[in-house]
Amino acid sequence: MIKLLMDKKVLLISGILFALLTPFCFVNAIVFENPLEYETIEELVDAIVDFLFYVALAIVPLCVLMGAFYILTAGGDPKRVKTGQNFILYAMIGLGVILFSRGFVAVLKSVLGTSPPPPEI
């Protein structure tokens, strides 16, 4: 019985020592590298916003072409002409919102001082 208790104590002590000393044995073995090319959250958000900006700029001409297609194929149907006009109108409104928001963010960053000033020539 005493031998069994001693074995349990030895096992418990060795388990605790193993758990405490293991991280120090493998200090340089585990290295996590950043899978992204961005170092900060701000850079990551800027990259996502830039991507969405360029996707939106690519969609606007498609909407204008779709509106023009509706107008050209209307065949005298005022409802299809109005639909085509609305496509073009909303595409232009969307383009204005996209450009305004991009400029607003740039001005806001400049005022708050989060972006570096442009280089002097």
| For residue 18, pLDDT beyond 60 | yes
Expressed as residue numbers, the domain containing 84 is 40-121
Same domain, 15 and 67: no
Query: CB–CB of 72/87 below 8 Å?
Result: no
Same domain, 74 and 100: yes
More confident residue, 1 or 77: 77
Q: Has this prediction a pTM greater than 0.75?
A: no
Same domain, 46 and 4: no
Same domain, 17 and 45: no
Same domain, 83 and 25: no
More confident residue, 119 or 111: 111
| For residue 54, pLDDT beyond 90 | yes
More confident residue, 12 or 117: 12
Same domain, 82 and 113: yes
Same domain, 16 and 56: no
pLDDT tens, residue by residue, 86-98: 999 999 999 999 9
Same domain, 22 and 54: no
Same domain, 24 and 45: no
Same domain, 65 and 27: no
Q: What is the mean pLDDT of residues 27-56?
A: 81
Burial class (CB in 10 A: 0-12, 13-18, 19+), 83: middle
How many domains, in total, are found in the chain?
2
More confident residue, 73 or 121: 73
Q: What is the mean pLDDT of residues 13-19?
A: 78
Same domain, 26 and 46: no
Same domain, 9 and 67: no
